[in-house]
Structure 1
Amino acid sequence: MLNGLNHITIAVSDVSRSFDFYVNTLGFIPKARWTSGAYLCLGNLWLCLSADTVTTGEDYTHYAFSILSEDFDVYANYLKSSGVTEWKINKSEGKSIYFLDPDGHKLEVHDGDLDSRLRACINHPYEKMEFF
């Protein structure tokens, strides 16, 4: 039986460039690196960067990282000053910044969690939303 998320692997066109972005811009902790990849950690998240041909979609798939509410504004300003490209404006509960990594993978920094999102949805549910 499944018991949680194990890891996320993303294709990257340049391991060195992505390693630098995830470690030096986003603050991931490097654990291992080799010619065609790297293992990084952020809290309990294990992220694998894997050299490959990158194709990014136009859908809403993205990866969101948590941040304390009191740290959000400073960090969002830091990301903007680092030159990230924003791909969406936040319209949901809490504060979020949506931005692209060097290969165009869609990322988000969000100051809420599932409980805060559900509380907001109880007050303003999505179309035909059902709660369990």
Structure 2
Amino acid sequence: KDMLSQIKHLRTENTTLLSESQYLSVEKKELQDETSALEAEIGRLQNEVKAREAETNLDLNLAPPEIQHPEFASHNNYMRLPASEHAFQDSQIMNPAYVFPFSSNSQVYPAPDATKSTATPTSTVKKPQPRYPTPN
């Protein structure tokens, strides 16, 4: 009887291991497919970056090209673009910023009227001594 129970236990363990093995094989294949898809995407993006680099041909050692636009030809200030003023105006529109104190103690942050009524503290700043004192 003991031998039969061991055989039965080993068969169930074998079945469990086979199902886990099949599951791992499927997972491994899915990961390989994902890896190859990601590698293809990386290759495509690298080619796109290289194509954009070739289009821009940035050489910082060269002088900037002369402006060919007729609307800029009459202006002396070549660095100022009309779009820059519009962008500056848009950048000034911002959401409000809220400041919350860390402490709920109202004495830490006195009201503006309370600061006027308190006496100004005496200054502890002393006149600096000369580095090389002159003989008297």
Could you say whether these structures have the same fold, taking a TM-score greater than 0.5 normalized by the shorter chain as the test? no
**Which structure has the greater CA radius of gyration?**
2
Whose relative contact order is higher, 1 or 2, with alpha carbons under 8 Å and at least 6 apart?
1
- TM-score w.r.t. the length of structure 1 is 0.16
- TM-score w.r.t. the length of structure 2 is 0.15
Higher helix share: 2
Higher strand share: 1
